[in-house]
């Protein structure tokens, strides 16, 4: 009985010691933050309570700074104080060193301004966009007047090019229709003035064909120094320039004289529009004035041209589908969701995600390709 009691006492001590022994995860949670922040003295003091060093994992949070009870990534601005002109940064001075908190004094004078979590000193200028600028003036942001010659940025989908915006219209058509589209955008079909222009246009087409601004043998002069290499494709321009218009054929980067009617060569308009000065919010199209937000031209229920910050902009409903095809002649356009017939004997269905299914016979609904709308 005595030996049994000893065994039970020893076993009870072992169980009690096991229950009181700290777990590695607890030591990690308590001590590793000191290691991550580089406070080795606090780390040693913490580990002495547990009697061992925990393994601190090298996870992404390890490479940050602890500041007032929160973690911050390296490179982040922890705090910005405009009144006292300083920022608090989480920095790493060398790859072998742990990140640390550093205070960056922006100016000795307390007249700074705060903008989007950053501190800027007196007289600093921020460009909000091409037409709007603000300047820090003794702790307060002030709007600066527009500079002469400032212009609004070209609208999304167009390409800035010197003093112009270049539009690559997405729908193929004849040359006369292409010129009309450019006029609706407040511009004209582009006429390249040198090889740089030509390269920009060919890159923007991305293998598609496009119409340029010349026709009926009145071709641009390429005999000057600007054109070291002829921009014309081999064998172009062909004889008999009547009813021929200047374009870049699909898959080509050189010029060709092509039939203007678009039956054999339907190409995309390439329009150039002069950049709009900052003091202009409305649009001027074919001598008519439009206010910001006005509809300039409504093609159908799928797409239109509106006035946006001085520029005519092409808008397309996202659920509409674009289709182009050949049935003795080219046809192209936008179609709303549902069934449509781009040609008399072609039956198509437009899904709301923009995908199109077409057959040369009516499409039963059960045969439609399942598409997640």
d(CA 189, CA 212): 5
- Whole-model pTM over 0.85: no
pLDDT of residue 249: 94
pLDDT of residue 290: 96
d(CA 233, CA 244): 15
Q: Are 85 and 63 in contact (CB under 8 A)?
A: no
d(CA 208, CA 55): 60
pLDDT of residue 275: 93
Bridging pattern class, strands 268-274 and 210-215: parallel
Bridging pattern class, strands 268-274 and 164-168: antiparallel
Q: Are 161 and 152 in contact (CB under 8 A)?
A: no
Give helix then strand counts, H and E, for the chain. Answer: 5, 27
Q: Mapping DSSP to helix (H, G, I), strand (E, B) and coil, where does residue 357 land?
A: strand
Instruction: Spell out the domain ranges in the chain.
Output: 77-143, 166-314, 321-367
Architecture per CATH, domain 166-314, reads as Roll (3.10)
pLDDT of residue 50: 84
pLDDT of residue 279: 82
Backbone angles phi, psi at 46, to 5 degrees: -70, -45
Mean pLDDT by runs of 10 across the 373 residues of the chain is 39 39 73 76 86 71 72 85 88 76 83 90 89 91 85 90 95 96 97 94 95 94 87 88 90 94 89 91 92 96 94 95 90 94 91 88 60 48
Q: Are 102 and 86 in contact (CB under 8 A)?
A: no
């Amino acid at each position: 009985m005595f030996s049994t009691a000893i065994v039970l006492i020893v076993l009870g001590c072992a169980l009690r010691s096991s229950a009181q022994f700290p777990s590695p995860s607890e030591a990690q949670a308590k001590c590793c933050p000191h290691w991550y922040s580089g406070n080795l003295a606090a780390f040693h003091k913490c580990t002495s309570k547990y009697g061992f060093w925990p393994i601190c994992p090298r996870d992404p949070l390890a490479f940050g700074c602890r500041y007032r009870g929160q973690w911050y990534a390296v490179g982040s601005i922890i705090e910005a104080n405009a009144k006292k002109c300083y920022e608090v940064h989480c920095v790493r001075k060398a790859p072998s060193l742990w990140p640390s908190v550093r205070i960056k004094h922006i100016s000795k004078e307390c007249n700074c301004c705060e903008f989007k979590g950053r501190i800027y000193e007196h007289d600093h200028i921020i460009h909000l966009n091409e037409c709007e600028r603000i300047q820090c003036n003794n702790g307060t942001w002030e709007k600066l007047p527009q500079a002469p010659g400032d212009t609004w940025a070209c609208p999304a989908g167009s390409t800035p090019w010197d003093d112009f915006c270049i539009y690559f219209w997405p729908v193929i058509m004849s040359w006369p229709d292409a010129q009309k589209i450019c006029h609706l955008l407040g511009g004209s079909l582009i006429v390249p003035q040198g090889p740089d222009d030509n390269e920009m246009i060919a890159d923007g087409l991305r293998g598609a064909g496009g119409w340029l601004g010349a026709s009926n043998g009145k071709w641009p002069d390429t005999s000057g120094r600007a054109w070291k290499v002829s921009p014309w494709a081999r064998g172009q321009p062909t004889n008999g320039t009547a009813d021929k218009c200047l374009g870049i054929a699909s898959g080509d980067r050189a010029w060709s004289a092509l039939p203007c009617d678009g039956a054999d060569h339907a190409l995309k308009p390439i329009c150039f529009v002069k950049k709009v000065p900052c003091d202009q919010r409305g649009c001027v199209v074919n001598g008519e004035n439009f206010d910001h937000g006005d509809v300039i031209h409504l093609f159908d229920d799928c797409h239109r041209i509106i006035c946006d910050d001085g520029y005519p902009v092409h808008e397309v409903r996202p659920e509409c589908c674009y289709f182009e095809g050949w049935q003795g002649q080219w046809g192209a356009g936008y179609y709303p969701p549902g069934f449509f017939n781009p040609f008399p004997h072609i039956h198509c269905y437009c899904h709301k995600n923009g995908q199109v299914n077409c057959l040369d016979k009516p499409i039963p609904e059960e045969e439609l390709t399942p598409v997640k709308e």
